[in-house]
Amino acid sequence: MNIRPIKTKADYDMALKEIEALFDTAANTPEGDRLEILMTLVEAYEEQHYALPSPDPVEAIVYHMESHGLTRRDLEPHIGNRARVSEILNRKRSLTLRMIQRLHSELGIPAEILLQPYRTKKNKTRKPLSPQKGSHPTQVTARQE
């Protein structure tokens, strides 16, 4: 058989060419076994060198909605009211553990994707309040910059 691990791009390219040549072979034959082994080696090489990052939770929810023909309203039983669904999908609020549990158990979205950290839009915060010189300690005014 003379099959060896795929360690370089050249090895990978040669394995792909051989897979293409063996693609129509019958299973449970020496050629079919060779094809199966080569495909396993190529898959391992691709996982190591061309791994795709997992989508973030919001992307996964949007993809699930699009692929299953769901609307924002369909998410309300799993996330909360219309405003809460909007906050989640617009990245203004993070998913809670309860939302993650519902989305996983009721819609089948993988929990390992929903549990990943992701960015939310930061709300604008007010300038901190601090006492000014000469003012009474209980009187607080906005800091001048």
55-80 confidence digits (pLDDT tens): 899 999 999 999 999 999 999 999 99
The answer to whether residue 135 is domain-embedded is no
CA angle (110 as vertex; 105, 115 as ends), nearest 5: 100
The answer to whether residue 134 is domain-embedded is no
The answer to whether residue 44 is domain-embedded is yes
Quote the CA–CA distance of 93 and 63 in Å, as a whole number.
19
Q: Are strands 129-130 and 141-142 parallel, antiparallel or unpaired?
A: antiparallel
Confidence of residue 92 (pLDDT cuts 50, 70, 90): very high
The mean pLDDT value of the chain amounts to 85
119-130 confidence digits (pLDDT tens): 888 644 334 444
Query: Residue 63: which domain range?
Result: 57-114
Confidence of residue 114 (pLDDT cuts 50, 70, 90): very high
Residue 133 pLDDT: 55
The answer to whether residue 128 is domain-embedded is no
Give the chain's length. Answer: 145
Q: How many domains does the chain have?
A: 2
The answer to whether residue 129 is domain-embedded is no
CATH number of the domain residue 74 falls in: 1.10.260.40
Shared domain check, 17 and 44 = yes
Beta bridge partners of 142: 129
